[in-house]
Amino acid sequence: MIAELECVVLDCPDPRELAGFYASLLGGDVDRPDRRWECDADWSTLHTPGGLVLAFQRVADHRPPRWPGQDPPQQFHLDFGVTNQERAHDEVLACGAALLDAGDGGRGWRVYADPAGHPFCLVGH
């Protein structure tokens, strides 16, 4: 095992509003304190009763996906918690991932693309 799924992140225009919507559907706690991230106007979370965490990220000029069309396509990314970011970096590259953003500046995460181009983050702990 290389990593542990931390949350599924959905892009949106209003993170807190979308978190409230999903809380209405699933129950759970919106913006519960969590050592892994800080909630603010650009980031909101929902800790569901079953343990899944959904996160909502503000995106300027967000265009909602169209179903079943793909213009714009569906939008989300996965965050994976890792204990050794350097080792995980090497392992995901060996699995076929591509580094998109090395996370310079000490922010604690790096952005990669899966083989189909979907972004995901490795978040160091």
CATH number of the domain to which 88 belongs? 3.10.180.10
For residues 1-30, average pLDDT = 94
For residues 116-120, average pLDDT = 86
Helices within the chain (DSSP H only): 15-26, 85-94
pTM of the predicted model, to two decimals? 0.79
Does a structural domain hold residue 71? no
Does a structural domain hold residue 42? yes
What pLDDT digit, counting tens, does each position of 35-61 carry?
Answer: 999 999 999 999 999 999 999 999 999
Task: Quote the distance between the C-alpha of residue 73 and its chain's center.
Answer: 17
What is the predicted pLDDT for the residue at 57?
94
Could you give the C-alpha distances from 44 to 48, 49, 73, in angstroms and in order?
13, 17, 22
Domain with 109 in it: 4-60+76-124
Residue 69 pLDDT > 90: no
Torsion of the alpha carbons at 115, 5, 54 and 66, rounded to the nearest 10 = 10
Report the domain count for the chain. 1
Distance, in Å, from the CA atom of 53 to the CA atom of 4, rounded to the nearest integer, reads 12
For residues 6-31, average pLDDT = 94
